[in-house]
Amino acid sequence: MISAIRAATRRSLATNLRATSSSLNSCTSSPSLAPRWSCTPPSYRQYTTHPTLLMPVKTIDVPTMGDSITEGTIVDIPVAPGDYVHEDDVILVLETDKVSIDVRAPEGGKVLEILGEVDDIVEVGSGLYKLDTDVEAPAGGAPAATEEAPDAAAPAETVAAAAPVAATPPPAAAPAPVKKAAPAAAPLPAMESITTNLGNRPERRSKMSRMRQRVSVRLKESQNTAASLTTFQEVDMGNFMEMRSRHKDEFQKKHGVKLGFMSVFVKACTAALQEIPSINAYIDEESKEIVYRDYCDVSVAVASPNGLVVPVLRNTEYMTFADVERTIALFGQKAKDGALSLDDMSGGTFTISNGGTFGSLMGTPIINQPQSAILGMHATKMRAVVDEKGNVVARPMMYLALTYDHRLIDGREGVTFLKSVADKITDPARLVFDI
């Protein structure tokens, strides 16, 4: 319907222009016979037309991507100029410091021009691509990509005989007899070569993504800002593993999610954060004040194809074990699909990093600024320990590491917090009875 209106408007304008031209000719040939209105110069006439009917080409700008984000990098352009796109089709993919964003078509049309290339940095509000919305959708959907033309310069057929077989050379003349020389001294044995064949040693370079650059900057800022100190504690996982083994099937049947290690650690850390408020606080650098938070938002470090991300579990003091497991599973899937949003990763009062999923035995995690502490989980290994009766037994043990900002948290608070977490994991009944 809109296309028919546009075509009718163009035909009306063309008719008006031809009438104007005819009137001007009559004014020139017989000014006295021509109507007075028709001799008005065309520059003084006003034509009212709808702008969208005459300007179907739209320039689509870089969208707003967050309060603190002012630019992004073009990482993918799945369409090419000349392609027809439908509404909500992805035209470009922009990568920011925190997340990747798909720029989609606001309506159907033909892509006329992409105002940038891959790896170009574009600012919010600047022109990104041009879209002609006046083009009708081709019958049967978007046109398929044009098949590549066959190579113009096809390789020539191999010549059967590249070169004639060389004729047999004539026999060489017999060498003249050589006089026997005196026997020379025996030569020294040749030294064996020590050169080793190193084989092919290629190198390749890959540009750092904006997310990886931002992660590296934030990690270095944390090291330069916080007075980081790490304390360690070992925890016996046997009791929780036994309880988990007894109830995991029933838990999954009721809640539709598996019972893992993260839920008990999130709940244990939440209880310990409420016991030691300084672990949950942070330093306001501008006002030089300590801000204590009476809620617990636990960030969980998750590995994604683009780097380390830390989505946030909000108000974990009100979450159940099943709530924690469901939310973590959702974040893990969104991280694999690259669908995490800025809201998913903003905030957080404390972080848990589980390097044990990759087999790490022990490590020192880096604080996620502006937080003041981070807990590092590690692999569970069977080790020989001495039980309460003095017997040496094999138990599943895990090392825990707490890195905290010593500017805010004293050693007493740091060690007390970590010991409280270890006690709650060793005896899960403490979580039930809130002790």
Distances (CA, A) of 60 to 33, 66, 108, 311, 409: 52, 18, 13, 31, 50
Q: Rounded CA gap, 78 and 111, in Å?
A: 12
Residue 334 corresponds to which tokens in the numbers above? 């969104």
- Whether omega for the bond prior to residue 35 falls within 30 degrees of 0, making it cis, is no
**Could you give the residue numbers annotated as active site?**
406, 410
CA proximity to 60, closest of 6, 142, 133, 134:
133
Q: Coil, strand, or helix at residue 33?
A: coil
Helix (H, G, I), strand (E, B) or coil at 200: coil
How many CB atoms are closer than 10 A to CB 74?
21
Helices (H), 290-389: 321-337, 342-345
Element (H, E) at 232: strand 228-236
- The DSSP-derived string for 136-184 is PPPTTSSPPPPPPPPPSSPPPPPPS-SSPPPPPPPPPPPPPP-PPPPPP
Instruction: Report CA 91 to chain centroid distance, whole Å.
Output: 18
Q: Could you give the CA distance from residue 58 to residue 111 in angstroms, rounded to a whole number?
A: 10
Which residues have a Cβ under 8 Å from the Cβ of 413 and sit 6 or more positions away? Answer: 276, 278, 279, 404
Distance, in Å, from the CA atom of 53 to the CA atom of 433, rounded to the nearest integer, reads 71
